[in-house]
Structure 1
Amino acid sequence: MAANAIETEETDPVDYALIAQQNDAFRKRQPEGGEGMFVQTNAIDNMGPSFVAACLANTITYDDFTEDNDPHGTHEMGFMEIMGRKVWFKIDLYDENYQYGTPAPTDLSKTRRVLTILFPSDY
């Protein structure tokens, strides 16, 4: 088994590097990232359209992944400062109906991504 893969009960080994590639493509709104949606918490939304736009722009271009903030190498969470406020984004992987976790994280036909932009206090 590759060093960056794990066994899950439901599926074959999952390749963290492939998940990272897919998460990056999804964040950048590229087809290789599969289907899904971007959402933000009410607290982010209440900051106004220019703040939300800055969050989206920074999320799409984010590339500050380190071993400390991304220990599994999946690029599923990012930490930024927007207009003097700490902001996070988090990507979760769901099944096709957005009801449960995906049974096959690297299979784009069975996985839907949800990227949430939030303040740390929203977590």
Structure 2
Amino acid sequence: MNTLTKPHTERDAAGTTGPRKPAQAPETDAAPDRAANQATTAQPSRSRADGMAVASFIFGLLGTLVGNIVLGPCALIFGGLALAHHTNRRGRALLGIALGAIDLAILLTLVTTDGTVSWHIGG
């Protein structure tokens, strides 16, 4: 008989042969696999952190143009939270933090030079 077509058999304790059964892990009453639970719970947290990184960047970018008194601190907070939650978009979170700091520097410059918190052009 050809070895390629010969079915794999195995002897059991009684000495009878039969088809080989796939190996099975022993059943235990232990808690579910923690790594699998962490992987499923980490995914929503990670995507939420990615959203915070993008929000930080957008708030920082918009804050350089308008509303830097509100959007600058929001960019700093969202960027910090995204980094704390281990975002995949670390560069975007850092850029949002940098833009948020620039927003606050612009605000500080406007307050000290003009005594106002808004942009204006001209005299």
Q: Give TM-score, length-normalised by structure 1.
A: 0.24
Q: Which has the higher contact order (CA 8 A, sep 6+)?
A: 1
Greater helix share, structure number: 2
Q: Which has the larger radius of gyration?
A: 2
Q: Give TM-score, length-normalised by structure 2.
A: 0.24
Greater strand share, structure number: 1
